[in-house]
Structure 1
Amino acid sequence: MSAQDQQPASLYAAREPIFPRRVSGRFRTLKWWIMAVTLGIYYITPWIRWDRGPHLPDQAVLVDMAGRRFFFFWIEIWPHEFYFVAGLLIMAGLGLFLFTSALGRVWCGYACPQTVWTDLFILVERWVEGDRNARVRLWNQGWDLRKLRLRLVKWALWLLIALATGGAWVFYFTDAPTLARDILTLSAHPVVWITIAILTLTTFFFGGFFREQICIYACPWPRIQAAMMDEDTLTVAYRDWRGEPRGKLKSTAPRGDCIDCRACVNVCPMGIDIRDGQQLACITCALCIDACDEVMDKVGQPRGLIGYLALSDEVAEKAGRPPRPVWKHVLRPRTMLYTVLWAGIGIGLIVALFVRSDIGVSVSPVRNPTFVTLSDGSIRNTYDVRIRNQQGEDRVFTLSYSADAPFVMTLEGEEGHETVVPADSQKLQRLYITAPAGTPAATMAMTDLRIWVTAPDGAGRVHADTLFNGKSE
């Protein structure tokens, strides 16, 4: 036996390039519209203006990392309100569960960024190199000047799209017109250039070269979706009881409606054969439905050999009975549960948004030292009080305390008990609380203390609880 025969067989399979054929139909048209809408939202949103007054940015949607806030039109989210962002992420997850349970991987097939940009890159590829057969011939032929020219033109257009993708993303994190000027004058911060470069390269390679591999190997959702789907989920499927046995159109042997033209395979961006059954790689983009319907029209057979189908309807359809109405598949206990949870979280976030206070306070005792004994024997504690003013104007806040012991309160840098907090910002105010000598608070180890912050004209009042440290005897 030779040394070559003794080597174990490799389990690695080289990637077979996929060249989807152009197809037209209702699902392809729907995908074009969704692409236009999603890309339009992505590129236009940072440039929408929203007047919030003289002290706040006028960008409608802005993730203000420097100011540690998130702006969405009239909504302003502060760092301590991150539960709003968490709630939106939970709603997004439940939304995925809901749509997957009802209609399969519609997110993957229509709205996922990987799908949208891959579709756009394939459109450019088809425009430069031709449809499927022309691209296959170009791939198989040797390198010459024509092939090099087509490749360079295609890659250049891909790179421009990828650059626009990365460039649009950074505009969400700072004022878009200002950043655009800095980019054009080459004076932008290095972080901007690094971010654009990373997003440009990832978009270029993911949409241009990796394509279906991202969906199959990198994305976890194909593996999670199995738990979201059941026999009542509507998903793209092949009606084998109608299509089998396959046979050519002019064949005299008994055959089903499938003429084995492979149109469904040739248009699939994942390179799978839907006739082999449900597969992890299928993103339910439904392009195979358009391709098959087009062929059925040409050969005089009814449409629907490939279509949206629930496994629970398989027995009825095989027997020639009509399937259950779509609404019965969509409105079932699982989807209704997801809908209730999704709506409940949304309503909770809306209520929390409208009942939240526009002032806030946090109190941090200074621990070094815990207390100070003054010359007259009184005990003084020091606190850092952080006051938050979420309105668009400067406001004068009054500080007070409540406790079961007498205290004397003074504010550092202020004559009375009032302090000014600038518009839409926070102020750190040093506060001194003193217990007179011989009082219970001065001689006890700890005394409960509540610090109050009152807005002008009693418009709002908040508090924070803390402790007063005494000199225990």
Structure 2
Amino acid sequence: MNKPLLATDLQPDDDGPLYVAQKRIYPQSVSGTFRRIKWYLMAFCLGVYYLLPFVRWNRGLGAPDQAVLIDLPNSRFYFFFIELWPQEVYYFTGLLILAAITLFLMNALGGRVWCGYLCPQTVWTDLFYAVERMIEGDRRERMKKAAEGLSMQRGAELVLKHSIWLLIAWWTGGAWVLYFSDAPTLIKDLVTFQAPMIAYIWIGILTATTYLLAGFMREQVCVYMCPWPRIQAALTDEWALNVTYKYDRGETRTSLKKAAQARALGETVGDCVDCNQCVAVCPTGIDIRDGSQLDCIQCGLCIDACDAVMKKVGRETRLIGYDNDINIHRRMEGKPEIFKPVRSRTLVYGALIACVGGIMLYAMLTRSLLDVNVLHDRNPLAVRLSDGSIRNGYTLRFLNKRGFDRVVAVDVDGPPNAIIHVIGTDSITQDRPMIILGRDASTELRVLVTSTTDAELPKSMPITFRVTDIGLGEVAANKDVFVTP
């Protein structure tokens, strides 16, 4: 008879902890193809982030000349020649959809390419690591200094390192707020302490978060805080290329000396010399030879480290490389490798990107820079005048999205013998009211529509307000209803 399982049987052994203690990671510097790619992308990303607020773009007299600007007081978003209004928030929705699908496509092709090369956490952590190595030395020096404890020289190095870290973090926070106001003006106001308090608050928040996340938490952000590793694991398939240890070549591992002895005896050994260089350079401290892991951001640094060792020992490079288990098993069976970047998954992602991008591009190219919104009066809905005519009141909001004033004519279709009367404006004529709209602004006017027909009107009938730019011929229209009392 089987012994029943007791709760005490599920308790951990007394001779070991339930959780492994977090150890500080000291990544070693490495050079190679993927490290150079990361340097280039880091320089590009940081250059765009820090310098873009200072790029100018001429939009005409009176308009902001900052190329990229989120103008919250005036409810505008400027991106070079594009100007978006709050009513066009669907463009931002489209951009978010495009970003998500592009991330899915990147994962289907090359695994966590975003995490390893383009993620802000990776970029700033790499920058902080570069500062740390410049001041404290490489892996062995940093480990030795950490074990020796604090000294005058060590204290000076720490002060210098953290000062540079804080300077980078401060400029990161400062660059972010420059996207919300004219950059040169805001810098002058910040220096003279005349900037809004909200600017100082956000600079402080972003300085603190950058300093903590890139300087201290580092790989823990990727492992514990970021949801993408869990999501991408559910989205990947067997054909996706990931940073992979090719165990068909590498096993059985042994040192260079023992490998030579084994080969002399006719035994088969792998190319891996068990040097642990792939572990030493990993920013998350994992061993890629243990297989695919949640902690791996697939930055490719282990590929560079392994290639350097393989070149020194005279063996073929790319023992670690972008590969998948399918090709490993095919090589073990003596079959050629197969790569499928074009497959149903990537085709669907590509089609979605093209579809969403095409819709957004079409909407952008065909969008009207003149618009009108109509709101019918609620009380009273309609008024019968002494001469028997019927009057309805409306509130019209005109949107002129161009950078200059323009004259528009207001027409109405629907009620027979309709007369338009615009209240509170010096319209040029009342037969066909013409209104001057200010540049890049909205204008709200009250409009009365009177039907002078003798015929009996229905309880409700459609009415269309049509606004025509006299100079450009641009037309905007909106519909509502004309009500009979």
The TM-score normalised by the length of structure 2 is 0.90
Distance in 1 separating the partners of 2:122 and 2:455: 72
Given candidates 363, 372, 376, the residue that maps to 1:352 is 363
Distance in 2 separating the partners of 1:66 and 1:194: 18
Distance in 1 separating the partners of 2:237 and 2:314: 34
Q: Is structure 2 residue 87 aligned with structure 1 residue 60?
A: no
Residue 406 of structure 1: how far off its partner (Å): 3.3
Range moving further from structure 2, 92-101 or 7-16: 7-16
Given candidates 223, 234, 240, the residue that maps to 2:241 is 234
- Whether the aligned pair in 2 keeps the contact of 1:234 and 1:329 (CA below 8 Å) is no
Residue 446 of structure 1: how far off its partner (Å): 2.6
- Whether the aligned pair in 1 keeps the contact of 2:244 and 2:288 (CA below 8 Å) is yes
Residue type of the alignment partner of 1:214: V
Distance in 2 separating the partners of 1:9 and 1:247: 29
Match of 1:418 in 2: 434
Per-residue deviation, residues 178-226 of structure 1 (Å, max 9, x unmatched): 1111111111101111111111111110101111111111111111112
Distance in 2 separating the partners of 1:319 and 1:292: 25
Q: Is structure 2 residue 153 aligned with structure 1 residue 146?
A: yes
Q: Is structure 2 residue 408 aligned with structure 1 residue 397?
A: yes
Distance in 2 separating the partners of 1:13 and 1:240: 27
Distance in 2 separating the partners of 1:319 and 1:301: 22
- Whether the aligned pair in 1 keeps the contact of 2:423 and 2:446 (CA below 8 Å) is yes
- Whether the aligned pair in 1 keeps the contact of 2:53 and 2:67 (CA below 8 Å) is yes
Match of 2:83 in 1: 76
Q: Is structure 2 residue 135 aligned with structure 1 residue 128?
A: yes
Structure 1 residues 160 and 453, CA gap change in structure 2 (3 angstroms): same
Q: Is structure 2 residue 309 aligned with structure 1 residue 317?
A: no
Match of 1:86 in 2: 93
Helix, strand or coil for the counterpart of 2:77? strand
Distance in 2 separating the partners of 1:276 and 1:244: 12
Residue 346 of structure 1: how far off its partner (Å): 1.6
Match of 1:113 in 2: 120
Residue type of the alignment partner of 1:136: M
Given candidates 151, 176, 181, the residue that maps to 1:174 is 181
Structure 1 residues 206 and 84, CA gap change in structure 2 (3 angstroms): same
Aligned length: 462
Given candidates 392, 397, 419, the residue that maps to 1:381 is 392
Match of 1:277 in 2: 291
Match of 2:172 in 1: 165
- Whether the aligned pair in 1 keeps the contact of 2:396 and 2:445 (CA below 8 Å) is yes
* Aligned 1:23-34 pairs, distance under 5 A: 23-34=30-41
The TM-score normalised by the length of structure 1 is 0.92
Q: Is structure 2 residue 316 aligned with structure 1 residue 302?
A: yes
Q: Is structure 2 residue 446 aligned with structure 1 residue 430?
A: yes
Range moving further from structure 2, 401-410 or 166-175: 401-410
RMSD: 2.2
Structure 1 residues 140 and 420, CA gap change in structure 2 (3 angstroms): same
Residue 373 of structure 1: how far off its partner (Å): 5.0
Structure 1 residues 6 and 348, CA gap change in structure 2 (3 angstroms): closer
Distance in 1 separating the partners of 2:212 and 2:455: 73
Q: Is structure 2 residue 302 aligned with structure 1 residue 288?
A: yes
Helix, strand or coil for the counterpart of 2:179? coil
Identify unmatched segments of 5+ residues in structure 2.
1-11
Match of 1:97 in 2: 104
Per-residue deviation, residues 326-361 of structure 1 (Å, max 9, x unmatched): xx4212222122112212222222222111112111
Residue 437 of structure 1: how far off its partner (Å): 8.8
Distance in 2 separating the partners of 1:58 and 1:101: 40
Residue type of the alignment partner of 2:420: M
Q: Is structure 2 residue 464 aligned with structure 1 residue 450?
A: yes
- Whether the aligned pair in 1 keeps the contact of 2:250 and 2:270 (CA below 8 Å) is yes
- Whether the aligned pair in 2 keeps the contact of 1:376 and 1:437 (CA below 8 Å) is no
Distance in 1 separating the partners of 2:24 and 2:57: 46
Residue 11 of structure 1: how far off its partner (Å): 4.6
Distance in 1 separating the partners of 2:468 and 2:355: 33
Distance in 1 separating the partners of 2:355 and 2:205: 38
Distance in 1 separating the partners of 2:188 and 2:18: 52
Per-residue deviation, residues 150-192 of structure 1 (Å, max 9, x unmatched): 2221111111101111111111111111111111111110111
- Whether the aligned pair in 2 keeps the contact of 1:233 and 1:311 (CA below 8 Å) is no
Given candidates 332, 348, 356, the residue that maps to 2:343 is 332
Residue type of the alignment partner of 2:465: I
Identify unmatched segments of 5+ residues in structure 1.
none
- Whether the aligned pair in 1 keeps the contact of 2:407 and 2:471 (CA below 8 Å) is no
Match of 1:45 in 2: 52
